C-alpha cells in the first residue's frame, strides 16, 4: 500500500506507537524527529516534481516543525544527560 494507515513492523496502535516513541531517551526522540523531517522533505521534493506545489509547501513546513522539535529535544537531552543511565 502506498500510504499505509499503520506501521507494518509495529504491532501496537498509533497511540501506543506515539507513547512508546515519546518514552525513548530524549536523544533518541530527537533522532526520530530528524528522520521524520527528512522523510517529509523527500516526499515534498517528489510532490514538487509532480507539480503539487501547495502540498510540497505544507510538507516542507511540517518538516520544519519536526526539525524545531528535534532541536528542542536535543536541548532537553543536554539538560538531562548527566542524570540518565546509558
Higher pLDDT: 85 or 66? It is 66
Check if the beta carbon of residue 41 is closer than 8 Å to that of residue 57.
no
Per-residue confidence (pLDDT) for residue 86, from 0 to 100:
58
Per-residue confidence (pLDDT) for residue 25, from 0 to 100:
95
Mean pLDDT over 58-66 rounds to 98
Check if the beta carbon of residue 72 is closer than 8 Å to that of residue 33.
no
Amino acid at each position: 500500500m502506498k500510504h499505509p494507515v499503520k506501521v507494518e513492523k509495529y504491532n501496537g496502535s498509533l497511540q501506543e506507537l506515539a507513547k512508546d516513541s515519546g518514552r525513548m531517551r530524549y536523544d533518541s526522540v530527537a533522532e526520530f524527529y530528524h528522520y521524520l523531517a527528512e522523510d517529509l522533505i523527500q516526499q515534498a521534493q517528489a510532490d514538487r516534481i509532480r507539480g503539487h506545489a501547495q502540498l510540497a509547501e505544507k510538507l516542507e513546513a511540517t518538516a520544519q516543525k519536526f526539525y524545531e522539535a528535534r532541536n528542542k529535544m536535543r536541548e532537553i537531552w543536554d539538560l538531562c544527560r548527566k542524570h540518565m543511565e546509558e
